[in-house]
Structure 1
Amino acid sequence: MTTPIRTRFAPSPTGLLHIGGVRTALFSWAYARKHGGTFVLRIEDTDLERSTPESVKAILDGMHWVGLDYDEGPFYQMQRMDRYKQVIAQLLESGHAYYCYASKDELEAMRAEAEARGEKPRYDRRWRPEAGKTLPAPPADVPPVVRFKTQLDGVIAWDDAVKGRIEIAASELDDLIIARPDGTPTYNFCVVVDDYDMQISHVIRGDDHVNNTPRQIVIYQALGATVPTFAHLPMIHNDQGQKMSKRRDAVSVVDYDALGILPEALLNYLARLGWGHGDDEFFSMEQFVEWFDLKDVSSAPSRFDREKLLWLNAQHIKATDAARLAERVAGFLAERTIDTSSGPALADVVTLLKDRSQTLIEMANQAEYFYQPLNPTAEIVEKHLQPEDEERLKLFAEGAAKLESWDAATLGAFIKDFVKQQGVKMPQVGMPLRAKVCGITNTPSVDAVLALIGREEVLRRLS
């Protein structure tokens, strides 16, 4: 490619970082990385009523958590107001924009008249300068907006890198307001100036922006700028086929962090929503960058499958270094005031549990009994801790206390001998042992569990 590849992620700080936004960021990041380009982060914070510092922090923290590193930014639109005003003045001077003094009442009347005629409500361009047209004197009591002078006929077209050729009739477009009565610029205008100044080559974003694209293209053209390549990604639906909502679904990065999902698993899953590489499901971000191409992105909406995400998370847990997993699990245990400093090394516990857990929450749940005994349920007591079981465990403890060493191999051999001596089957010893020492019966190999908990603590719990 002859033009340097520059992509951007431009969220509005009006809430938490949404997983749809994360997927947009992921695809933009991957495209830049694939082509040795630049990935830019821009915060579109001109919505003063809804934008908050807390939301900005949530975006930055979310990007850090998922590991999508940006090369430039973050840039903030509110810090670029002078530049926007400069470009508005330029468009007014070149005749591509004009002042409009239509009052709110006049605009409402235009809307009502259009609807009465069965037409699409729109501004009637009464303040638009045209050859041979005489404009009225500007009213002194109406602060004007600035409107962009959109072409009146023909089509605005682009070759979307995901959706293919898209053509919109110019007659469908209004004269877009690019500056409000107080002089503040509007979204569609700011986006164009930002992408122009930042030399963005590829605008990769959700397909809810398709209707904005023709409005933005005409502004690029008026500025004499190269129109970037647009790629509109399909929406993500929930398992009911509906657009994901904050009320029904886990939609923010924070939600998935709290659920015990690894960031690389979430990215792996989001990569597969609308994009594919053969039958590959489980892959690293390095592989994704190597394989990624916009031509492989589907234009159809994707459906979020929680079970597939959990499966992928389990695969990434298995492949992740135990020390790193232990850091995350320690945080979940600390929230429950469980002290891991006096028990076995948490990394060793994690190593034992990592093949049995779909989430870090599950792993933390299973790790609890290594540091404090759990109370068995009445059902477990009824099934596995009857008087004969307790008597057998007492004999087991007496024998175990005499072992020369306390490791999984020694314990395994001792348990087998004990089972044989007692003339019972393995579950008749193993299940009561788990119930008494751990408080649950679903654990890894009992000899490995006892070895990690330690001789002193195991004997204390058995007594």
Structure 2
Amino acid sequence: EITFDTATIKDQVLMKSDGSPTYSFACVVDDAAMEITHVIRGEDHISNTPKQIMIYQALGLKTPKFAHLPLIMGDAGRLSKRTGAVAVSDYKKEGFLPEAIVNYLMLLGWSPGGNQEKIDLAAAVKRFSIKKINKAAAVFSMDKLTWLNGQYIKEMPAGKLTDLLIPFLQGKGYVSADFDKQRLEKIVDLFKVRMSTLTDFLEWADFVFVDQLTVGDEIQQQHLSHDRSKEFRILSERISRLDTFDAVSLEKTFRDLVAELGIQAAELVHPVRVALTGKTIGPGLFDTMAILGKEKTVQRLREAFS
């Protein structure tokens, strides 16, 4: 509870010289007109509260209950754009889910207890008590928000996640109006465990949607500098003859070949992954081949050392 000595508060200006009301006067009249019973706001308004209470009393209005919450801070002081103070629409463009943002904001200054961090709004409403609000200022962490967003993505059904990703894919020109949604769901399901935001999917799975793959010079030098044209040619020929193009058939074809050539699987796995995806890490190689499709897999293997 906070107390003030009203004798130290100067007479308040209610109307400005241009005829417009001052902030405190407008707040009181507006809140009273809307029959506001509780005013919960940042602690930076503490100095305004006694002035507004005096105006309530002077006007014979019922005074609401006031509560002041600690401010949300950045790593090095007041929150700024660098540390998270941007529009909600910006988070949407970056691929953050509304439920993850709401969840994270609820954790800034309050906890459901039991070290629980993921909680939906309905459950939070049942368990919330303003008495459990932290007295210390909360620090906004993009890393924590991103982690929490990833938890929501990982638990989301592939169909629903695909629907959310379609506008991002259309924006990049990766899917047309008549795209195969069932195939797209399989691709999304393969990558969702690696996603922290919706836009992560565009970075992880771009190789599936582009016709011409670009491999960075450093990755090219590291994994494709040794001539594997013979191995790639044989692998592409055998894959092209497969009647069933799935991860199981692809793995058998691959392992039969490395055994026949007398080399370790690892000697071929990494160059093949880079040739197909332009990346050094990702989901299992054979699952990756399966979602890439036979035509692109064979073509990229043939062109890798051309």
For the residues of structure 1 that align with 2:67 and 2:159, how far apart are their CA atoms?
40
For 1:268, the equivalent position in structure 2 comes to 103
For 1:233, the equivalent position in structure 2 comes to 69
For 1:357, the equivalent position in structure 2 comes to 195
For the residues of structure 1 that align with 2:180 and 2:274, how far apart are their CA atoms?
19
What is the one-letter code of the residue matched to 2:90? D
For 1:249, the equivalent position in structure 2 comes to 83
Q: Flag the structure with higher strand content.
A: 1
Q: Flag the structure with higher helix content.
A: 2
For the residues of structure 1 that align with 2:271 and 2:179, how far apart are their CA atoms?
25
Contact 1:343 1:453 in 2 (8 A): no
* 1:431 corresponds to 2:267: no
Aligned residues: 297
Identity of aligned residues (%): 36
Which structure's CA Rg is the greater one? Answer: 1
Q: Secondary structure at the match of 1:178?
A: coil
Greater alpha carbon shift after TM alignment, 277-286 vs 341-350: 341-350
For the residues of structure 2 that align with 1:449 and 1:184, how far apart are their CA atoms?
65
For the residues of structure 1 that align with 2:161 and 2:248, how far apart are their CA atoms?
26
Q: Secondary structure at the match of 1:192?
A: helix
- What is the TM-score when the length of structure 2 is the normalising length? 0.89
Contact 2:83 2:140 in 1 (8 A): no
What is the one-letter code of the residue matched to 2:98? P
For the residues of structure 1 that align with 2:188 and 2:262, how far apart are their CA atoms?
34
For 1:440, the equivalent position in structure 2 comes to 279
* 1:453 corresponds to 2:292: yes
For the residues of structure 2 that align with 1:270 and 1:422, how far apart are their CA atoms?
57
For 2:132, the equivalent position in structure 1 comes to 296
CA RMSD of aligned residues (A): 2.1
Q: Secondary structure at the match of 2:41?
A: strand
For 1:421, the equivalent position in structure 2 comes to 260
For 2:168, the equivalent position in structure 1 comes to 332
Deviation digits for residues 68-119 of structure 1, max 9, x if unmatched? xxxxxxxxxxxxxxxxxxxxxxxxxxxxxxxxxxxxxxxxxxxxxxxxxxxx
Q: Secondary structure at the match of 2:68?
A: strand
Q: Secondary structure at the match of 1:441?
A: coil
Q: Secondary structure at the match of 1:213?
A: helix
For 1:48, the equivalent position in structure 2 comes to none
Deviation of the 1:429 alpha carbon: 2.3
* 1:392 corresponds to 2:226: no
For 1:76, the equivalent position in structure 2 comes to none
Match of 2:241 among 377, 386, 402: 402
Q: Residues 346 and 211 of structure 1: is their aligned pair in 2 closer, same or farther, counting only changes over 3 Å?
A: farther
For the residues of structure 2 that align with 1:420 and 1:209, how far apart are their CA atoms?
73
Deviation of the 1:343 alpha carbon: 7.1
Deviation digits for residues 105-138 of structure 1, max 9, x if unmatched? xxxxxxxxxxxxxxxxxxxxxxxxxxxxxxxxxx
What is the one-letter code of the residue matched to 1:271? M
Q: Secondary structure at the match of 1:205?
A: strand
- What is the TM-score when the length of structure 1 is the normalising length? 0.60
Deviation of the 1:290 alpha carbon: 2.1
Deviation of the 1:336 alpha carbon: 3.4
Deviation digits for residues 265-288 of structure 1, max 9, x if unmatched? 222221111111221112222222
Deviation of the 1:425 alpha carbon: 2.3
Q: Secondary structure at the match of 2:67?
A: strand
For the residues of structure 2 that align with 1:292 and 1:198, how far apart are their CA atoms?
25
What is the one-letter code of the residue matched to 1:234? P
Greater alpha carbon shift after TM alignment, 179-188 vs 333-342: 333-342
What is the one-letter code of the residue matched to 1:198? M
* 1:282 corresponds to 2:121: no
- 1:102-181 matched pairs, under 5 angstroms: 165-181=1-17
Deviation digits for residues 132-189 of structure 1, max 9, x if unmatched? xxxxxxxxxxxxxxxxxxxxxxxxxxxxxxxxx1111112322222222332222212
Deviation of the 1:353 alpha carbon: 0.8
Contact 2:153 2:196 in 1 (8 A): yes
What is the one-letter code of the residue matched to 1:369? F
Deviation digits for residues 250-275 of structure 1, max 9, x if unmatched? 31223322332222222222111111
Deviation digits for residues 28-69 of structure 1, max 9, x if unmatched? xxxxxxxxxxxxxxxxxxxxxxxxxxxxxxxxxxxxxxxxxx
Q: Residues 314 and 454 of structure 1: is their aligned pair in 2 closer, same or farther, counting only changes over 3 Å?
A: same
What is the one-letter code of the residue matched to 2:23? Y
Q: Show structure 1 runs of 5+ residues with no match.
A: 1-164
